[in-house]
Amino acid sequence: AERDTGVIPLGAYLRAELGRPVYMENDVNAFLRGEVWKGALQGVQHAVAVTIGTGIGVGLLVNGEVYRGARGSAGEIGYWLIGALGPIARSSGYGPLESFAAGPGIARRYVARLKAHRGSSAVLDLAGGDMHKITARLVAEGAMLGDSLALDVWRETAEMLGVALANLCCLMDPEVLVVGGGVSRAPRELLLDPVRRIIETLVPYPPKVVTSPLGDQAAILGAAALVLDSRRSSISYVTAGVEA
């Protein structure tokens, strides 16, 4: 018997139910497509698009085409194990890099340090004194106010992301690396500038590193681009190994 992959053919199901063409894409590939169509990757043939929010995802542009991998899961760098992040073990849920450097991980690491710290906390003040309301955005705001714990958390986050993305750039040799997602909106001195410095230091041919000019509109535009491209070329796109 075939191994149960746990994949649900949602696109095929919706197409049958609605009687209309249905096109599906994961969010980071849609983000990548939007940047290719209307954003930072116009005219680019080789690029990496990174979204850093509640998780970390990567879209890969190779020879002007979105690269998906054998089962549609190319670019899952959130599962990378870097440095001393933990033991070599299968992840359940978020991968090691996501657990450390995505938005929830940034907030969780700050709260853990705060509990062991008896000094003042600009971040806790911003959260109205409620630790449960601390987010990565508030940790960034606190860092800009001089909160020492917040500055440490962001320094470590930027260093970890910088090394991860430098490794990715060494592998893929992109022309441009575009960063999006909620965490990417942190002040550039906390994230983009140190990440760029690390990439320029470690990568033999550093790419141009930019934040998304489209913001939240990138994935929406990318979804529209997928439909337009699919209808023009009459190609059945495959996502996660399932015709969509």
Residue 224 has pLDDT above 90, yes or no: yes
Predicted confidence band of residue 1 (pLDDT cuts 50, 70, 90):
very low
**pLDDT, tens digit, 9 for 90 and up, residues 53-90:** 999 999 999 999 999 999 888 999 998 887 755 566 67
Rounded Cα–Cα distance for residues 243 and 236 (Å) = 7
Are the beta carbons of 143 and 150 closer than 8 angstroms? yes
Mean pLDDT of 125-135: 95
Of the two residues 11 and 16, the one the predictor is more confident about is 16
| Range of weakest confidence among 66-70, 193-197, 208-212 | 66-70
Residue 146 has pLDDT above 70, yes or no: yes
| Range of weakest confidence among 71-75, 117-121, 124-128, 169-173 | 117-121
Mean pLDDT of 94-111: 92
Q: What average pLDDT is seen over the chain?
A: 88
pLDDT exceeding 90 applies to what percent of the chain?
70
Amino acid 244: pLDDT: 36
Amino acid 117: pLDDT: 85
The pTM score is: 0.85
Residue 5 has pLDDT above 60, yes or no: no
Of the two residues 115 and 9, the one the predictor is more confident about is 115
CA torsion through residues 171, 83, 122, 94, sign: positive
Residue 203 has pLDDT above 60, yes or no: yes
Amino acid 85: pLDDT: 55
Contacts 24+ apart (CB under 8 A), 137-143: 137/103, 137/182, 137/185, 137/186, 138/107, 139/106, 139/107, 139/110, 140/186, 140/187, 140/190, 143/187, 143/190
Q: Cβ atoms within 10 A of the Cβ of 39, count?
A: 24
Strand 208-211 relative to strand 176-180, pairing: parallel
